[in-house]
Chain A
Amino acid sequence: METAEAGDPARGHGGQMMNAFAQSAAASPSAWKIDAVFLFIAVVSLFFFLLVEGMLIYFAIRYRRRKGAEEGATSEVRGNFILEVVWVLVPSLAVLAFFIYGYVVYRDVTTPLPGASDINVVTGQFVYEFKYPDGRAAMNELRVPAGKPVKLIMTSRDVIHGFFIPEYRIKQDVLPGRYTYLHLQPDLEGTFDIYCTQYCGVGHSTMRAKLIVMPPDAYAAWAAQGEGAKAAMSPPEKGKALMEKFGCMGCHSADGTVKVGPSFKGLYGRRVELAQGPAVMADEGYIRESLYDPGAKVAKGFPNVMPTYKGSITDDDVAAIIAHIKTLN
């Protein structure tokens, strides 16, 4: 608590790219990279802008007809093939460069960061709920220790919401019925805005949260203080209990033994060969889908016999089960 508001120097800090944007200064590695793309496109576009508008204005002045003057002789030229080729090729090269640079940085900022800690985000009209692996939960306040990457695993309870951190230059829609992800590298301490960017109803414009990046020791103190706010069980513990209750362990092992179905040991993050064809990454979305619609992607070499748990488990349960499976790596 105490360090959070004091940690505001970050606001002025990241502005090496664009000082003018003081209020929304870039505050993470992703932001610096994206600002660089912005700057690159801005410079190239400015060149084309000045070229086009310059010619437009120059020709308009240079070739104007004075009031009352006779129509001047004009050229009969109807076109020029070489020119057409030039102004097809040059813009093509420019947009190709935009595409490639934009793609490279996009791939970079959407790639999971090594060693990231998972935080579940559940959105609903008109709040953000953050759930930590150790069972702590908070509304509209996402506290993270500086320097440690974070992976947000997001889903919505009702309609589509957005998750936008202007100072990080990243956003992702949050959908009901599936997971979407954001990868944060909170290097600068400070408080940053989180905005909902997908219209979600009458409270849309006040659906805002804070990202509070704390010094690691202050974060640890806060986390310890938050013990009381914990649920009775942490998500992995709850997941373990649920899996026993639902009888998952009858067919799946936790120790690598192959039973009716694949073992959970080392499952998370592995590539799974599918009976239906190519392999998929066993991420949160895959595990969730396998609970709700087990026949959709059956692991190769296993029978398609698992029943669906749709209707019998809640989104919270699914998140807990995933959290438990992650601990088996």
Chain B
Amino acid sequence: MTENTADGTMLSGGGRSRGYLEEKGFRSWALTLDHKRIGALYLYTTLFFFLLGGIFALLIRIKLMYPGQEIFSNHTYNVLFTLHGSVMIFLFIIPAIPSGLGNFFIPLLIGARDVAFPRLNLASYWIFVAGILVILGSLLRPMDTGWTFYTPYSAKTAANVTLLSFGIFLVGMSSILTGLNFIVTIHTLRAPGMTWHRLPLFIWGMYATSIIQVVATPVVGITFLLLAMERLFGVGFFDPAKGGDPLLFQHFFWFYSHPVVYVMILPAMGIISEVIPVFSRKPIFGYKAIAYSSLAIAFIGFFVWGHHMFVSGMSKTAGIIFSFLTFFVAVPTAVKVFNWIATMYKGSITFESPMLYSLTFIFLFTFGGLTGMFLGALATNIHLHDTYFIVAHFHYTMVGGTVVGFLAGLHYWFPKMTGRMLSEKMARWGWLLTFIGFNLTFLVQFYLGFKGMPRRWAEYPPQYQSLNIVSTVGSWIMAGGILVMFSNFIRGFFRGDPAPANPWKGLTLEWQTASPPPTENFEEIPVVTDWPYGYAKRKTAGPPPRFFDRGAGDG
């Protein structure tokens, strides 16, 4: 039903169109206003930092193989876990899906030719790069505070906290501009007939994400400015000796950094909502429930930051309120999971790599979410807080959830972005090794945490060693999986089989144009007449469902 819509994309024989990739040269990339090229730039940049952050992680695990290993100093270890956290969060997870895949696919999925403000989009990429350069500059005296920057330690340490926080300030600014751009794009540039309830669920996820980016990110910017003033001028916002309050910093910090975990997870959930129906050949189950639960998560997510602070010295009353609210973020999340699984019911399911990653997302994220129950409950939190249980929990949600969702998206959209297919065999090996390695690395950490091993420890008592060895070996297997996966990306990029316009028989609009798409995305802007999840195959013969007409206008 889709072959006929792929017109103009598969030139038979040699002369294959490279679409938006046609133009070559540095300037054509550095000054491009094409959302697809900007999205690709973000993806290259963030994937680079994913690998770099991964190398830091491997070094951390090597240090932790022995209770008190001298392979490098404890200070170096402290720097490494700070870099691992900062790089993975600020330079990979936060920008990868929203700015990378979001930039590339929001206009394609809503039937637009570009984002609302292409120049702002380019500016936000270069602000992001400027932020990265500042952050790299801070490595001259590298940070050792952890990615959380808690005062008063961060106000006192000799490291380059001011520079690093200024770098993150810039990265945050880029994030705000991108979010703003997406909100306006989704409001104003939807193809004719694409009402809100016909939007693909990835767009709903990105919309909720963008709202959080715009509302929450300024707070972390202000927080880091205050921290810089504290360090440079000794103003004393957070220093009790000067009438300041160290807890104030934590409130500010988590007021941003908690909502931002939803910036990480909501777009990943959006990807899963796209992939599951395509590979199950079923309409998505509970469209509105999934769409509105994204908004609910974004909204409630603003009121739960205090659950990072149950043992911080915050008042008990605050702890009780935050614990209560925290549990109610779990409900819209559970709703999504149930709807995805219901989508698979009576489907006709195939397991290409995007689907494998999506099922892995549901599997691991459910586990990560349920272990969060122990942390949301006040009584168990005071035991588990700041131990490896926390480390394991957020890696299950952030890696098992966000990163796996991102990888689902990369495998799903790779043919669209590059015009080439990945090797399915390599994709499966990469998936298998990553899955085994990931679980080996982090499952044992729940147990370590329950046994009391605190996080951010360079040395530990010997009773914790055996499980740490398991965890380290797991990290090597996972690294092997990522290596296979990236080899597959590189091989696919240069030598992969040419991709048809619609390899997965998807109904969303990005599959109705060439792979890779032309610079203007669509020859003619389609007119949407139904939702994009009409995958059910009827028993009776008849025309397949269509949810758009082409060429009825050029919006």
Residue of A99, A164, A196 most packed against chain B (CB within 10 A): A99
A202 partner, pick from B74, B285, B359, beta carbons under 8 A: B74
**A212 CB to nearest B CB, Å:** 16
Judge whether A160 and B283 touch: CB under 8 Å.
no
Judge whether B341 and A77 touch: CB under 8 Å.
no
Residue of B287, B337, B338, B461 most packed against chain A (CB within 10 A): B338
Q: Tell me if A290 is interfacial: C-beta within 8 Å of chain B.
A: no
Judge whether A164 and B452 touch: CB under 8 Å.
yes
Surface stretch bound by A, among B343-351, B427-435, B490-498: B343-351
Nearest chain-A residue to B329 (Cβ)? A95
Judge whether A164 and B454 touch: CB under 8 Å.
yes
Q: Tell me if A19 is interfacial: C-beta within 8 Å of chain B.
A: no
Judge whether A23 and B451 touch: CB under 8 Å.
yes
Surface stretch bound by A, among B129-137, B308-316, B507-515: B308-316
Assuming the A-B contacts A88-B335, A95-B328, A98-B376, are A74 and B150 also in contact, with contact meaning beta carbons closer than 8 angstroms in the complex?
no
Judge whether A60 and B373 touch: CB under 8 Å.
no
Bound CA span A158–B463, Å? 30
CB interface residues, B 107-122, toward A, < 8 Å: none
* A-B Cβ contacts below 8 A, count: 271
Bound CA span A169–B383, Å? 4
Interface size of A in residues (CB-CB distance below 8 Å): 83
Contacts of A41 in B (CB 8 A): 373-374, 377, 380
**B367 CB to nearest A CB, Å:** 7
Bound CA span A170–B379, Å? 9
Judge whether A76 and B363 touch: CB under 8 Å.
no
Assuming the A-B contacts A34-B382, A56-B362, A60-B349, are A177 and B323 also in contact, with contact meaning beta carbons closer than 8 angstroms in the complex?
no
**A271 CB to nearest B CB, Å:** 16
A158-180 vs B, Cβ < 8 Å mask (1 yes, 0 no): 11101010110111110111101
Judge whether A88 and B331 touch: CB under 8 Å.
yes
Bound CA span A157–B234, Å? 18
Assuming the A-B contacts A60-B344, A72-B537, A170-B382, are A160 and B246 also in contact, with contact meaning beta carbons closer than 8 angstroms in the complex?
yes
Bound CA span A198–B456, Å? 8
B302-321 vs A, Cβ < 8 Å mask (1 yes, 0 no): 00000000011100100110
Residue of B145, B311, B461 most packed against chain A (CB within 10 A): B311
Judge whether A76 and B283 touch: CB under 8 Å.
yes
Contacts of A202 in B (CB 8 A): 74-75, 78, 144
A75-B346, A87-B335, A103-B320 known; 5 new pairs, CB 8 Å cut-off, are A34-B382, A53-B363, A60-B344, A71-B348, A98-B373
Q: Give A contacts to B, CB under 8 Å.
A: 21, 23-24, 31, 33-34, 37-38, 41-42, 44-45, 48-49, 52-53, 55-56, 59-60, 63-65, 71-80, 83-84, 87-88, 91-92, 95-96, 98-99, 101-107, 109-110, 158-160, 162, 164, 166-167, 169-173, 175-178, 180, 193, 195-206, 208
